[in-house]
Structure 1
């Protein structure tokens, strides 16, 4: 099973940060080093990769995991990564959230990011890695170690950089049929007051042509948030369709990058959270772990 590829951190957290800083420094020293995520054939990474280190798997409570969640926009990476983050006690770092925080900050990147996001394009490697570097630095000062990355890497270039600075234990590739993905994305809402994410879409797809049916109940907010729900500016049918096209064209090679290294776990979501969460835990060999955590609580 793919989950057997889990390994313990073998590089210091601060060492990874120094490599990130080195990349940002070299990138900012010359405009030619600003590499777009839409580059089809990226140049080789400035780091030396070492994929030979593989320590024996240990129980999750005895180590800090370094996981990556892949999948099309709207598939549920944040939902499941956040749940696993709480279960395993490691930070969930979503690059999409980092971008939105920067947008809300009115910082120097805000205007540039607004144009990119509203057009459904991918943010450049330089910007994403800069935001991620700052997030890791902030976590380091708080004593964090390990992580569950959501939304990074999205390109081979990003995967090579990440591979060069740290050891990824496992890559969880979430899959969901595209018509359901589109409906999910159009149903997403955010509370303008508390910032939490909800979904008003009630999905009920009948099985046909050998494909099973699928049901997903809406994730509705509490009553005090209901009147404060807003739709993300990039959650329009045109933008979502473009984001899915870009993902399929540019980001799916990342799946093969990790598949060839034996680090990927393919997981087809069978439905909403009630149906998918127990099966995901089972695929990760964490179903017994959750029961032990619940019993100890």
Structure 2
């Protein structure tokens, strides 16, 4: 278990993750060898041909707040049959609890600041312990790692197959974030923003239709407390500042796949599947119906 030994040497902040990793690693290292994407293919942005649902994957999704990491990571997790672990969701679940950590997190989130490595690692540790108890193998991580330190800790735990970096222009990101809504009754996530930007000066246009709720949710929509223009701009500034080293960390290892979203889900999903060398049979059946 040399990986765990490296993790234990990473410092006190890494220790909570190590305990969860012990049981979790045992299931990962017993996976089929061909479940991992060869580095030579990842460098070209072409993961090995994969039959959805037949193998474990260990992927990371990077991207600015509001870019759609959760949407695409969740869809892919269902397609390939591994859990989607979103650190943003872990933070929100903790915020909704009555734990001593909840108020501290509320202050951090409402100011648009990044949650510390120690807190994120603690929350992720708890999630991994829960998954290990259920026999989970493989994952798609969303929102982690956000710093070089987190990336190094994660590398000490397991080998990441592929890192997908979703990219979207800043004016569209801002509009998307300000359009996000949550149903206060069912907890569903929706977006009321209608984005239609014409191409100019060599830049392509982009269209994103709103993701509206069903009629029963329409009057129950609420805006997240951290989705104000001031907070969103601060989150984007911090993200850009912190993301460059993390992107370079994975780029230098031949694992970074950069994907520019061409539009909303109908335009982007099939293109993302194409670069990942995957097929969504359900989508094909829906299109043929």
TM-score class, shorter: 0.7 to 0.9
**CA deviations over 1:55-99 (Å, ceiling 9, x no partner):** 765734442101000000000000000000111111000000000
Q: Does 1:252 align with 2:239?
A: no
**What are the equivalent positions in structure 2 for 1:67-146 lying under 5 Å apart?**
67-146=59-138
Aligned to 1:27: 13
CA change 1:143–1:200 in 2 (3 A) is: same
**What are the equivalent positions in structure 2 for 1:1-297 lying under 5 Å apart?**
26-27=12-13, 57=48, 59-60=50-51, 61-287=53-279, 290-291=280-281
CA change 1:107–1:24 in 2 (3 A) is: farther
**CA deviations over 1:99-147 (Å, ceiling 9, x no partner):** 0000000211101100100000000000000000100111111111110
> Which consecutive unaligned segments of at least 5 residues does structure 2 have?
16-32, 39-47
Q: Give the TM-score, by structure 2 length.
A: 0.83
Secondary structure in 2 matching 1:120: coil
CA change 1:104–1:262 in 2 (3 A) is: same
Alpha carbons 1:24, 1:130 under 8 Å: kept: no
1:253 is displaced (CA, Å) by: 1.4
**CA deviations over 1:251-270 (Å, ceiling 9, x no partner):** 22111110010001110000
> Which consecutive unaligned segments of at least 5 residues does structure 1 have?
1-10, 30-52
CA change 1:26–1:179 in 2 (3 A) is: same
Query: How many equivalent pairs are there?
Result: 256
Q: Alpha carbon RMSD of aligned pairs, Å?
A: 2.5
Alpha-carbon distance in structure 1 between the residues aligned to 2:227 and 2:92: 14
1:193 is displaced (CA, Å) by: 1.2
Alpha-carbon distance in structure 2 between the residues aligned to 1:204 and 1:164: 43
Aligned to 1:40: none
Q: Give the TM-score, by structure 1 length.
A: 0.80
Alpha-carbon distance in structure 2 between the residues aligned to 1:62 and 1:157: 32
Alpha carbons 2:66, 2:177 under 8 Å: kept: yes
1:154 is displaced (CA, Å) by: 0.3
CA change 1:84–1:256 in 2 (3 A) is: same
**CA deviations over 1:204-261 (Å, ceiling 9, x no partner):** 0011111011100000011111111110000000000000000011122111110010
CA change 1:19–1:223 in 2 (3 A) is: farther
Q: Which runs of 4+ in 1 moved over 6 A?
A: 292-295
CA change 1:58–1:137 in 2 (3 A) is: farther
Alpha-carbon distance in structure 1 between the residues aligned to 2:243 and 2:191: 25
